Structure 1
Amino acid sequence: MAVRNNILPVNLVFKFILLASLITENIDLAGAWLGVNFGEDGDNLPSRTDVVKKLTDIGMKQVRIYHTYAETMSAFANSGIDLIIGISNDDFMTVLADVNSSLNWLNTNVVPYPNTNVVTITVGNEVFASDSELLIAALLPSMENLYSALQQLALDDITVTTAHAFDVMGVSYPPSAGAFKSEYLSTMTGIAEFLSRTGSFVFVNFYPYFTYEADKTNVQLSYALLGSGYLVDSGNGKVYINLLAQAVDAVYTALTAVGYGDLVVRVSEIGWPSGGGDDATVANAQTHNQNLVALVEEGTPLKPDNKVDAFLFAMFNENLKAAGVEQNWGLYYPNLTEVYHIDF
């Protein structure tokens, strides 16, 4: 995955109150929509067949991958798993340069796998965080080209989106003041229009760990771990008891400001590292991710009827990533033993 530049720019001067009972009270987990990211930046990962077996064993129904390697695409055939596939930042400008090249990409990477249930294609990952003007300028046209190609191939049940780093937000606190960065506003508005017109959704990567590490003075650990806390939004009086809901509502507010507040926001990456840095412990990772399992069934104060669908990052520790926390996001070691246990 891309480097995460998604630290929540907040000035959180408020009193936290322990409200753990509010998190767990009256939660019905039936139908909870939680997926997982399966990254492949490791040279010791299990066979893709074994990966898919493990995913089905734990009841995972939604999986996001970042590439379309033939072995991986084949392994997901007839698995009952909805698959979100990605086109990398390095590739999408070329392979989606026009509709014809997009058709070629689909005919190579999707069409040959009719029994693999591809439901969404993400164009790039954290493109704005790349600071590449060429890449940013090419993002929306590439999405349009891919969408047109899908229509031509009668694959119109596959949606197109892109995954944003949280730093597309210029203002995120309080959530009622959420706004995109001014330099991205025009492009983000165009992307929102595309997503609305094509029946897609907004994907945002959000890492409470990095928010907490950047501002321990004002962000309480229990709030970042999605367990307990209390924040009253000074703009609208809404009460927040975890950092995820606060972040998601900031994005909803930003979308409303550009005229697309009805779009659904989904969290494309969220997790907590189990090693490699301050506060990156097995206990914290387990607590955060178990709390997340409950929260995906809940709405937010601003959108109480919208479940916070999310993809947990990540399935495995990946040893080809940079040393430190980047290698320690997995639920599993490459030998398929648990780093810690989560009840899904």
Structure 2
Amino acid sequence: MSHRALEVLIVTGPLGAGKTTAVNRLLKAEVAAGRRVAVLINEFGAVSVDGALVDAERPELAGVENLVNGCVCCSLRDDVVATLKAWCDQPEGQRPERVVLETTGLADPTDLVDLEQEPELAGRLRLAGLLTVVSCLGPVDHLRTRPLLRRQVALASLLHLSKGDVDPSAAVAWEGDLRSAFRHIPLVLTRNGVAPTDSPDPWRGDLRPVPEGWEATAGPSFAAARSFTTAWDHPVDPAALEALLLAPPAHGELLRAKGVCAFAGWAARNDGSDRWAFQLADGRLEISPLPLRADGSAPSCAAVVIGTELDAAHWKRALRALEVPPAGARRKVTVRP
């Protein structure tokens, strides 16, 4: 007996746009509706911070897979296909009905819309839509100057414009430009990742063929970016972390920073966890509590920095210098230039 095709919703958009928040909302809605849903998270870095944030929500998922240190449309495409095939191979009643595929903000979705044509997935998978999340806090001229962003938007079956509650005037500017340039794509303004109740269903998208002429161009693409991951053995200085991440770098452009840490001088919370997630996007540093895992363990502490033309040795030294070891303790890892 043939299985019903696995529905896949691609969620893409720039770094820090709010994709993980949107993904968590989507997963909770699917679980509440009684559907078996899985999530495939791709991050550009050696530590899956977004995976920890999704795991913290603890919905009852049919599957969770984290792909790190690559791009789903490039070096990790084979892993994506293998993961989707494994889910398709599961018995009826166990296999997911739907999959949310969250790409890194550096991924080009033009290389993902042909997943249905993969020999191992043909007839077993259906692309249900492509949701692009865009933050209104970035410069509005990025829509014209950054080809990757234009491709992420141009292929969308639905656009979510996020963070308008933070800067309403910026939301108006972004909404005007998006509606003018892409008037055929439905656009929704969200608050904290939540779309209005009468918004289009992301799973009822209408994916169009890849537009002609969308060849790779210069710009902040996956190939131009670099990711640095630094593990921490001890709590870090919260003020020093803020100062480091908010100061303009001496070299290159800092596109994104995120991680998990404990803060020196901050006691464990009532839930028993001393872990915090931090996210730098659009020039704003956000910190949120991160609970213990379901088994009672705490996520490892590490920072991921993503940017172009950054000095890797400098950033690794600067991140390790944020640690505040307890009296008499030493760092376990020596950072070499």
Query: What TM bracket, shorter-length normalisation?
Result: 0.3 to 0.5
TM-score normalised by the chain length of structure 1: 0.35
Per chain length, whose mean CA-contact separation is higher, i.e. which structure has more relative contact order (CA < 8 Å, sep 6+)? 1
TM-score normalised by the chain length of structure 2: 0.35
Higher fraction of helix: 1
Higher fraction of strand: 2
Structure with bigger gyration radius:
2
